[in-house]
Amino acid sequence: MKILFLGDIVGDAGFKSVKKNLPNIISKKGIDFVCVNGENAASEGVGITENIANELFNVGVDVITTGNHVWDQKEIYEYIKTEKKLLRPINMSGNLPGKGFSIFNSKKKSESRSVKSYG
């Protein structure tokens, strides 16, 4: 199994680079599972939006981890309640929306991996 984990995607430049290059990397390297940290992917360099998360999923990201900056774009509060592939930090209060831990299937479908997000 080949897993690709990308650390902080920061601002427009990082987001656009991942969108442009990730599909080719997945294809050329035979990547089975992609995990990115997206807590700073918004254009301001802090937070993440629903649109950014969906665009990342559309180019091959399987799960997005976050940290304390996840809450900097207020719209994410509602989205993270329902989007199971967007994880809040597990070490933050359980009263906050979203999940800090989940189990995901790889692209191979026969294998699954657990991912935790620590802020």
69 is catalytic: yes
Q: Is 88 helix (H, G, I), strand (E, B) or coil?
A: coil
Centre a 10 Å sphere on the Cβ of residue 96 and count the other Cβ atoms it contains: 14
Backbone angles phi, psi at 3, to 5 degrees: -115, 135
Residues 6+ apart with CB under 8 A from 34: 3, 4, 5, 6, 22, 26, 60, 61, 62, 63
Catalytic residue among 69, 71, 98, 115: 69
Catalytic (active-site) positions:
69
